[in-house]
Structure 1
Amino acid sequence: MVRGWLLLLVVALPQVATGAKECIFCDLTDSSNCAGIPMTCGDDEECFMGQGTAPGLGPVINKGCMETTSCGNEEAVTYEGATYSLISTCCDGELCNRAPIPAGSLKAGATTGLALGVQLLLH
């Protein structure tokens, strides 16, 4: 019975970050749907997403870890021969710079987890 309650708590409660933060890394690209790869940030770093614009051209993005003091800064970057004005925006939380999650996905996952936990309690 106690194991069932513990499992229910583990499934139902949000994950608590301990130590290093995980973020998504994506090199400078013109894709707004860069899934990227997970990376671990340092203690003084935050996850970020950089968005760049250039007159007459489509946007570029990049993602990764950045020192907190650099968040919100604007810089000139070159991508495929064009110079873009890139602004990096930091976010707080594990993998907060990943691609947006479709509406309803988290709710469905939480509901399934709770249902499994309750089912274990009843058996």
Structure 2
Amino acid sequence: MVLGLSFVHCWSLSQALTCAFCELTEATDCLECPIICQDEETCYTAKGMLLGVTVLQSKGCIGFPMCGRKETQTHFGNSYVLSYTCCQGKLCNGSPPQERLSPLILALVSAQLLGCM
């Protein structure tokens, strides 16, 4: 019986949505970590605009009614309009992965460097 309950618990956790999370911070300083959303939540990215430039952002889980909304918040004495954009899917609000060099390009660059030494 206990084994069955453990299986159900682990299965339900695996069905939970995982999103990227970072607190409201300067747009270039968002250090993401994964977070598991509650039921009735989805992933979001909020961008804070000042004079038409994105200067703040936050990411995480949010209730569906907040999707597409805009609100004014004060951060360090300045007022910003935060726009909430939502998505569904594992880490859909995360930063795109860094491009990796293909093994062929890496081998060619290495061969060129070794040939020059």
TM bucket (normalised to shorter chain) is: 0.5 to 0.7
Aligned partner of 1:46 in structure 2 is 42
Q: Aligned residue pairs: how many?
A: 90
Equivalent residues in 2 for 1:1-123, closer than 5 Å: 18-32=14-28, 34-55=30-51, 59-103=55-99
Bigger radius of gyration? 2
Shift of 1:39: 0.8
Where structure 1 has 5 or more consecutive residues not aligned to the other structure, the ranges are 1-16, 109-123
In 2, Cα distance between equivalents of 1:78 and 1:41 = 26
The higher-RCO structure (CA 8 Å, 6+ apart) is: 1
Where structure 2 has 5 or more consecutive residues not aligned to the other structure, the ranges are 1-12, 103-117
Counterpart secondary structure, 1:69:
helix
In 1, Cα distance between equivalents of 2:52 and 2:84 = 21
Shift of 1:58: 5.4
What's the TM-score once normalised by structure 2's chain length? 0.67
What's the TM-score once normalised by structure 1's chain length? 0.64
